[in-house]
Amino acid sequence: MDYEAFFQVELDALKEDGRYRIFAELERKAGSFPRARHYAEDGVGDVTVWCSNDYLGMGQHRKVLDAMHATLDACGAGAGGTRNISGTTHAHVVLEAELADLHGKEAALLFTSGYVSNWAALGTLAARLPNCVVLSDELNHASMIEGIRHSRAECLRFKHSDPDDLDRKLAQIDPARPKLVAFESVYSMDGDIAPIAEILDVCERHGALSYLDEVHGVGLYGPRGGGVAEERGLMDRITVIEGTLGKAFGVMGGYIAASAALCDFIRSFASGFIFTTALPPALAAGATASIRHLKASGWERAQHHARVAQVRRRLDAIGIPTIDNPSHIIPVMVGDAKKCKMISDWLLEQHGIYVQPINYPTVPVGTERLRLTPSPVHTDGDVDRLVDALSEIWSQCALARRAMAA
């Protein structure tokens, strides 16, 4: 077999379909978010980033940077090993205690990313609970799907955010059999929010463990940034809350928060935790500083919600089609992979606006979109430039608009 030819044919097919992914080479400017330098073949230019998951701009917050600098100077660069072999530093222990407190749980456990925390925790629970069956929301993130798949446990998918379908499926399972229900709070592509209380009602009725992915909720919702479950007063009813340090908290890493026994169980059996180098202590210290700040400060969340509402109003007023949802994510619907990429390229080249196109397999074919994530660090001028540019390119591409708002 000509392996190189095979690779090229597959890549060419992606390009023909408009689904080939090109990474924008950026250099974010601390103190000037959402500004970044864009490195391209024809030179270097300044751009405004409209698709970052650093939702609150905490990646440049002075408290976060000071904590990271101080820990870097005191402890050096890396952790020096796995958590089991010399890699558990004081910064890791402090951060895990902070996360447990954030979610009102007995314990928390750190991982190197949100992807790994889902893969390791779900994979370990489903594999080691005897004859476990997992019930997974049909739109769960790839990391959850891969963890469940890796466990080789039986998996039943229930209709997206549908407690009645979940109830029907659970009712057909032997009541004595271990059951694990996995779902998300905020779904990152459509921006919808799960009916968490209703799903928990079903879990409790059937004696199922609940596993909630809050990666797009932590920091952003709730009086202390504990997520949608905190906002709705539901954290104590959830078996496992999983989150990330790489989005609203502005740093890097993933975690679970749960009972002391469950966290110790994952710590003791999950290969994705045991056999990987621990996060650098400076990252752990930065995350702790970010969490502590957002526990006490509601300013960032209030500004964030206000900016999201402003962008929604402005886009609605000019008929740009978006998915109506209650979250902070604004999907601008294009519906064509090639046009989606063309619009993204045009915004970048003509206006210095960076919004990555979202195509299959991240979203279904025919639902291609630009995923906007307004933040407190965007200005009124940034919003004006974005809205004007989108209006211009929408007309150029002869794309349909909604009825104009009055």
**Do the Cβ atoms of 125 and 154 come closer than 8 Å?**
no
What number is the average pLDDT over the span 147-166?
98
Task: List pLDDT tens digits, range 332-346.
Answer: 999 999 899 999 999
- The pLDDT tens digits for 238-276 are 999 999 999 999 999 999 999 999 999 999 999 999 999
Q: Check: CB of residue 368 under 8 Å from CB of residue 337.
A: yes
Residue 97 CA, distance from chain mean position: 22
Give the DSSP letter string of 373-394. ---TT--HHHHHHHHHHHHHHH
Confidence grade of residue 282 (pLDDT, cut at 50, 70, 90): very high
| 109-142 pLDDT, tens digit each | 999 999 999 999 999 999 999 999 999 999 999 9
Distances (CA, A) of 322 to 39, 190, 254, 316, 335: 30, 9, 30, 8, 11
| Mean pLDDT over each residue of the chain, to the nearest integer | 96
Residue 394's pLDDT is 87
Q: What is the pLDDT of residues 370-403, one digit of tens each?
A: 999 999 999 999 999 999 999 999 888 767 676 5
- What is the spatial distance between Cα 202 and Cα 2, in angstroms, rounded to a whole number? 53
The residues annotated with a catalytic role in the active site are 247
Residue 208 pLDDT grade (very low, low, confident, very high; cuts 50, 70, 90): very high
Q: What is the model's pLDDT at position 60?
A: 98
pLDDT for 404 beyond 70: no
Tell me what pLDDT residue 402 has: 67
Helix 281-296 to helix 90-102 angle, to the nearest 10 degrees?
30
pTM of the model: 0.95
Tokens of 4: 């190189």
The size of the chain, in residues, is: 406
Q: Where are the beta strands (DSSP E) in 231-345?
A: 240-244, 254-258, 330-333
